[in-house]
Amino acid sequence: MIKILTVIGARPQIIKAAALSRAVNTHFSDRIEEKILHTGQHYDSNMSDVFFQEMNIPQPHFNLNIGSGTHGEQTARMIKSIEQVLLEEAFDAAVLFGDTNSTLAGAVAASKIHVPVVHIEAGLRSFNMAMPEEVNRIVCDQLSTMLFAPTKTAMQNLENEGFFTSQATFADGNKRHIFNSGDIMYDNTLYYASMSDKKTAIVSQLGLNSGEYILATVHRDNNTDNPKRLTAIFEALLAIAEQKMVEIVIPVHPRTYKVLKTNEFNNLLDKIEKNRHIRFIPPASFLEMIALEKNARIVMTDSGGVQKEAYFFGKPCVILRSETEWVEITEQHAGIVTDANTCRIVEAYDLLVDRNIKFLPVFGDGSAAEFIVKNMLEVLQDISH
């Protein structure tokens, strides 16, 4: 029996873990034992606990309750605690998702004590080293025994960085293994799309008409913590709401709302709250977000996950960042990168709202989780022998 520790800590990782756990339980329960460790990186119950309940994800076997802090402080506490868990039980691998501090901590802790690291969503690059996520994903890739890349572009990034010709070896001479798995989030979107119709009525509860509103999310710290950037984004949303007379729904992230409530943003927040076309709603659950995405006319976001989900549902996307890891979206002309630039955001909306877009299947076939678990099992069995 192969024993894996799945490390999660932020909202998107909880969702991705659902797909992996389903694959383990459905197809490999007689060969793999999975335990889940929640670092507590997201400590707001609305942002994490609800996902375990709503999506039938097994409750974590370990909860570190790390909470917030500086990057170094948070990551250091995680490394120490994850190492302790790995040492207490004989795990055959640590499974990590994406690019958070939890990902980085899991990679460092496991690699130092020679537990193979499995990185899901390997090879993604923004090429912006000022992003903490970029640092995290690069370090995790370098420390990983198994890398599962979600797209051809991610595979190309790994090839460009020398991963395929690397002489790196791990404990006992084990080599690196690289796979093009498809995107595990596409699995989840397919699985939960019909469930959202049955379990949430958020669209009708909000009085929204399908295909007639914008869904917007803003949460990245380089937007929320920079007054000029945050102002530019919301000035664009105000302009679109006023000029186009279109409703904009914003599930407001706690960090974003906390910043907007400060004195510096009094005038801006007052304009937003007085605009009858802009509506703040509490953070949405995953199923609620799916329903909102499915029924939106267009999506505006600085979230990598929401960019992809918009694409999965055939919705154009205005990307409120200076770059995107998911270049397939822009290559298919389904998204435009605007950065935090008011004029460019408005222009992108005008360009995308009526554009005829072909949403080609560039993120796999919806069976990434099963592919990942099957190949992970084969590699780990070889290593253990």
Active site residue 177: no
Same fold, 2-183+365-384 and 190-352: yes
Domain ranges of the chain: 2-183+365-384, 190-352
> pTM for the full model?
0.86
- Spatial separation of the C-alpha atoms in residues 96 and 6, rounded to whole Å: 6
CATH superfamily label, 2-183+365-384: Glycogen Phosphorylase B; (3.40.50.2000)
Distance CA 230, CA 252 (A): 13
Q: Which residues of 197-236 are buried (b: 16+ CB within 10 A; e: fewer)?
A: eebbebbeeeebeeeebbbbbbbbebbbeeeebbbbbbbb
Q: Which among 309, 308, 298 has a CA at the least distance from the CA of 196?
A: 309
DSSP, collapsed to helix, strand or coil, labels residue 149 as strand
Q: Which residues pair with 149 in a beta bridge?
A: 180
Q: Are 2 and 40 in contact (CB under 8 A)?
A: no
CA distance 133 to 129: 8
* Cα→Cα distances 277→124, 271, 303, 308, Å: 36, 11, 22, 26
Of 269, 252, 273, the closest CA to residue 44 belongs to 252
What is the full per-residue pLDDT of the chain (385 aa) written as tens digits? 999 999 999 878 888 998 999 999 999 999 999 999 999 876 555 445 666 676 767 788 999 988 778 889 999 999 999 999 999 999 999 999 999 999 999 999 999 999 999 999 999 999 999 989 999 999 999 999 999 999 999 999 999 999 999 999 999 899 999 999 999 999 988 888 888 888 889 999 999 999 999 999 999 989 999 999 999 999 999 999 999 999 999 999 888 989 999 989 989 999 999 999 999 999 998 899 999 999 999 999 999 999 999 999 999 999 999 999 999 999 999 999 999 999 999 999 999 998 999 999 999 999 999 999 999 999 999 887 6
Of the candidates 38, 42, 219, 253, the residue annotated as catalytic is: 219
CATH number for the domain running over 190-352? 3.40.50.2000
